[in-house]
């Protein structure tokens, strides 16, 4: 495994592989890797000749300076993990090389798909995500790119972008990885205090129960939403950003629960903002 930080160096290495018709799998990350990332990387290694993982805490997708500054990192541990998983190249670009002083180009996806859910409270977040992912795709030229379904909106936004801009990459969404007690893995979980860590379980629990309600025949999205909101509001230190029941690909609100449905939520548990979601197929 090789760690490369210069953009042009990685381009040269990967273009040779590309021309040699080797399939390139890519997992973009912001580091501080957990088992969720590892599940993406394992799949990439299995399905491709070459696997590239990027570690880059992208400043343009943070809407709060504090969130950016407190974002956890442990590069040494990340690199050990990626080596053990059989990754070929770790890309650790420099902020200054990714965003020069003259930098002024952004990729933006308009409409509900970026304005709802996390987009409503995180102004400019998906513009930052789409821009950095476009840059990374242009540098890596992956055949397949792997994204965790935990960031369900990110998967929907990136899939839309790839179609709209005719990019040569297949987006592979991968299932959420959870702790045994249900908590969705997140690099932000380390920011939770012990009591908050227990409180946070209500997020996954309420989603699982909502799924059961739907499977028992509930078709009214308002009732489902109210059920989750009420449950979370029993906690003193929980502050709901959103709880939404939407069409899984367009992210548009639905009133009747049918087809591919996404229930997504974002909740502050103390300081950290946690997200979780569940996808349900209703025939």
Q: Supply the residues annotated as catalytic.
A: 37
Is residue 72 a contact residue for its own copies (CB under 8 A)?
A: no
The single-letter DSSP state of residue 74 is -
Between CA 55 and CA 53 the distance in angstroms is: 7
**Which residues, 6 or more positions from 281, have their beta carbon under 8 angstroms from its beta carbon?**
259, 260, 261
Is residue 135 part of an annotated ligand binding site? no
Is residue 94 a contact residue for its own copies (CB under 8 A)?
A: no
Q: Are 275 and 118 in contact (CB under 8 A)?
A: yes
Binding-residue pattern over the window 209 to 248 for its own copies, x denoting contact by CB under 8 A: ----------------------------------------
Judged by CB under 8 A, the stretch of 63-71, 160-168, 220-228, 252-260 that binds its own copies is 160-168
Judged by CB under 8 A, the stretch of 51-59, 133-141, 181-189, 200-208 that binds its own copies is 133-141
Interacting residues with its own copies between 101 and 120 (CB under 8 A): 102-111, 113
Nearer to its own copies, 98 or 176 (CB): 98
Gyration radius of the chain's alpha carbons: 19
Sign of CA dihedral 17, 22, 27, 33: negative
Residue 136 Cβ vs its own copies, minimum distance, rounded to whole Å: 8
Nearer to its own copies, 55 or 141 (CB): 141
Is residue 164 a contact residue for its own copies (CB under 8 A)?
A: yes
Is residue 161 a contact residue for its own copies (CB under 8 A)?
A: yes
Between CA 278 and CA 196 the distance in angstroms is: 21
Burial state string for 173-206 with b = 16 or more CB within 10 A and e = fewer than 16 = bbebbeeeeebbbbbbbebbeeebbebbebbbbb
* The Cα angle at residue 154 between residues 67 and 251, in degrees rounded to 5: 120
- Residue among 85, 117, 139, 257 that touches its own copies (CB under 8 A): 139
Is residue 163 a contact residue for its own copies (CB under 8 A)?
A: yes
Q: How many CA atoms lie within 13 A of 118 on its CB side?
A: 24
Is residue 7 a contact residue for its own copies (CB under 8 A)?
A: yes
Residue 148 Cβ vs its own copies, minimum distance, rounded to whole Å: 21
CA-CA-CA-CA torsion for 167, 186, 66, 122, nearest 10 degrees?
50
Nearer to its own copies, 103 or 208 (CB): 103
Residue 87 Cβ vs its own copies, minimum distance, rounded to whole Å: 21
Residue 203 Cβ vs its own copies, minimum distance, rounded to whole Å: 29
Is residue 100 a contact residue for its own copies (CB under 8 A)?
A: yes
Cα Dmax for the chain: 58
Between CA 155 and CA 145 the distance in angstroms is: 11
Q: Are 276 and 207 in contact (CB under 8 A)?
A: yes
How many residues interact with its own copies (rule CB under 8 A)?
A: 33
Nearer to its own copies, 53 or 130 (CB): 130
Residues annotated within a binding site? 30-37, 61, 148-151, 154, 177, 185-188
**Residues in touch with its own copies (CB under 8 A):** 7, 11, 15, 19, 21, 100, 102-111, 113, 130-131, 134-135, 138-139, 141, 160-161, 163-168, 250
């Amino acid at each position: 495994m090789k760690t490369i930080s210069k953009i042009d160096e990685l381009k040269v290495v990967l273009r040779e592989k590309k021309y040699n018709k080797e399939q390139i799998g890519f997992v973009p990350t912001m580091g501080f890797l957990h088992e969720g990332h590892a599940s993406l990387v394992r799949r990439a290694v299995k399905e491709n000749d070459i696997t590239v993982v990027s570690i880059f805490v992208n400043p343009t997708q943070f809407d709060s300076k504090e969130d950016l500054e407190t974002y956890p990192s442990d590069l040494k541990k990340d690199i050990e993990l990626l080596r053990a998983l059989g990754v070929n190249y770790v890309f650790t670009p420099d902020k200054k090389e990714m965003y020069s002083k003259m930098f002024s180009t952004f990729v933006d996806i308009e409409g509900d798909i970026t304005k709802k859910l996390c987009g409503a409270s995180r102004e400019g977040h998906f513009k930052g995500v789409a821009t950095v992912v476009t840059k990374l795709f242009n540098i890596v030229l992956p055949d397949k790119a792997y994204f965790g379904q935990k960031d369900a909106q990110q998967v929907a936004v990136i899939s839309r972008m790839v179609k709209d801009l005719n990019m040569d990459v297949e987006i592979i969404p991968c299932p959420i990885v959870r702790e045994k007690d249900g908590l969705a893995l997140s690099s932000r979980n380390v920011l939770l205090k012990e009591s908050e860590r227990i409180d946070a379980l209500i997020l996954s629990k309420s989603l699982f129960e909502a799924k059961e309600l739907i499977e028992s025949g509930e078709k009214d999205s308002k009732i489902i939403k109210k059920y989750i909101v009420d449950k979370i509001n029993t906690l003193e230190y929980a502050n709901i950003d959103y709880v939404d029941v939407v069409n899984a690909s367009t992210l548009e609100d639905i009133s009747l629960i049918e087809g591919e449905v996404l229930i997504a939520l974002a909740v502050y548990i103390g300081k950290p903002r946690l997200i979780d979601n569940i996808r349900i197929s209703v025939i």
